[in-house]
Amino acid sequence: MALLEFRNVSKRFGSLLAVDNVSFAVDSGEFFTLLGPSGCGKTTLLRMLAGFDAPDAGDILLDDKSLAGVPPEKRPLHTVFQNYALFPHLTVEGNISFPLEMAGRPKDEIRRRVAGMLALVHLEEKEDAFPHELSGGQKQRVALARGLVNKPRVLLLDEPLGALDAKLREEMQIELIALQRNVGVTFIFVTHAQQEALALSHRIAVMRAGRIEQLDEPDRLYGFPQNRFVADFIGKINLLDVDVLESTPDRLSLAAKGLGTLTAPPVQGVQPGAHGCLALRPEQMRVVAENEDTGLPNHFPGVVRDLLYEGDVTLYRVVLRNGTALEAMIANSAPGRPRFFEVDDRVEIGWRPEAGRYLHD
């Protein structure tokens, strides 16, 4: 039985359909992420779950019971807001005890649990500090502790790492994973950063314009995007426009305009004559000098247009005959050795047929 379920939920703001017939279920103990560009309806979903907004249609269920009409304070869910929303007139200790006091817990229990929470988020020394005396990362930890201290069934996190700088964000990601594992609370996490979603989540719902485009595990989402939007949104990807020549149970034969034919893994239900694109991850591409053999059935000549040195890898942008640019990510050789290719080098770029994925338009 799912812990939490959205059933055909819609929400309208004037003429804007902010959430469009969304359904999904979250299991107990899951780290579930809503991922999508800004304005796609993630916060609106969280607000309906927390009880600040009511759905126009559909239902939200917790333990198979509808939450309709239940006020926010009666829902066993707590939220970590993007700006933390720490109470400025209360100390760290006062902020973390707040939910326990509201729940009417006895004083000694409150003291014990707050102390435990402070230890868990490494803030024992800051107990008596006020929020304005804390750094961004510390505020973040207080907000997490406050959200978790009364053991909610689900913790909602709305872009909680958005306000932190890159290095701190990475540290907090690691802490979040450990924290969630330790407390065993179900997390519903909202972000527009795909790398963050991939790093943290058990499952991810990719959203666009109020709808869920794909709901999958991170590696499935990365490896098998179901459409152009998801492929483009998750990680770096090359999209090559193609027409379907032949579709058999064990392979697709495709034609790329101005290039020639190539093969790809089969996709069910695709008819010859269909139009779509072939999605190729840059790290799956191979590049060799123009007179060498790639040893791969799918390969085309091209010219290195740009390159981006990133330390461990270099990103080469190769322009093909028909003007399409493909990116190839190649691990660099040992330090001090020359780069494999330079700008304007003529090369041959190829990939294994299994590396490509046909996406129907």
Partner 1 sequence: MKRGVGLWIAALSVYAFLYVPLAVVVLFSFNDSELNAEWVGFTTRWYAKLLSDQTMLQAAANSLFIAIVSSTVATVLGAMAGLAMHRYKVRWLAFLALTPVAMPEILLGVSLLLFFRQVLDLTLGLVSILVAHITFSIGFVAIIVRARLAGLDESLFEAARDLGATPWMTFRRVLFPLMMPGLLAGYLMSFTLSIDDFVITFFTAGVGVTTLPLQIYSMIKVAVTPEVNAVSTLLMALTLTMIGLASRLAPETLRGKG
Ligand X SMILES: Nc1ncnc2c1ncn2[C@@H]1O[C@H](COP(=O)(O)OP(=O)(O)O)[C@@H](O)[C@H]1O
Q: Give the binding site for partner 1 (CB under 8 A).
A: 50-52, 71-73, 77-79, 81, 83, 85, 87-89, 98-99, 102-103, 146-147, 150
Could you tell me which stretch among 13-21, 78-86, 278-286, 322-330 binds ligand X (CB under 6 A)?
A: 13-21
Residue closer to partner 1 by CB (options 57, 102) is 102
Which residue among 10, 24, 28, 39 contacts ligand X (CB under 6 A)?
39
CB of 83 to partner 1, least distance (A): 6
> In the chain, which ranges are continuous DSSP H helix?
42-50, 92-102, 107-120, 136-148, 166-183, 194-200, 218-223, 228-233
Provide the 8-state DSSP code for 12: E
Q: Degrees (nearest 5) of the Cα angle 57, 46, 156?
A: 145
Residue 103: which of Mg ion, ligand X, partner 1, none does it interact with, CB under 5 to 8 A by kind? Answer: partner 1
CB of 47 to ligand X, least distance (A): 7
- Residues 42-71 binding ligand X (CB under 6 A) are 42-44
Contact in structure between 41 and 19 (CB atoms under 8 Å): yes
What residues are paired with 358 via a beta bridge? 278
Contact in structure between 149 and 113 (CB atoms under 8 Å): yes
Q: Which residue is nearest to Mg ion (CB)?
A: 43
Contact in structure between 285 and 329 (CB atoms under 8 Å): yes
CB of 62 to ligand X, least distance (A): 20
Residue closer to ligand X by CB (options 44, 324) is 44
Which residue among 8, 16, 246, 309 contacts ligand X (CB under 6 A)?
16
- If one asks whether residue 38 binds ligand X (CB under 6 A), the answer comes out as yes
The binding site for Mg ion (CB under 5 A) comprises 43
CB proximity list for 279: less than 8 A, separation 6 or greater: 225, 228, 231, 237, 238, 239, 356, 357, 358, 359
From the CA atom positions of the chain, what is the Rg in Å?
25
CB of 3 to ligand X, least distance (A): 22
CB of 120 to partner 1, least distance (A): 18
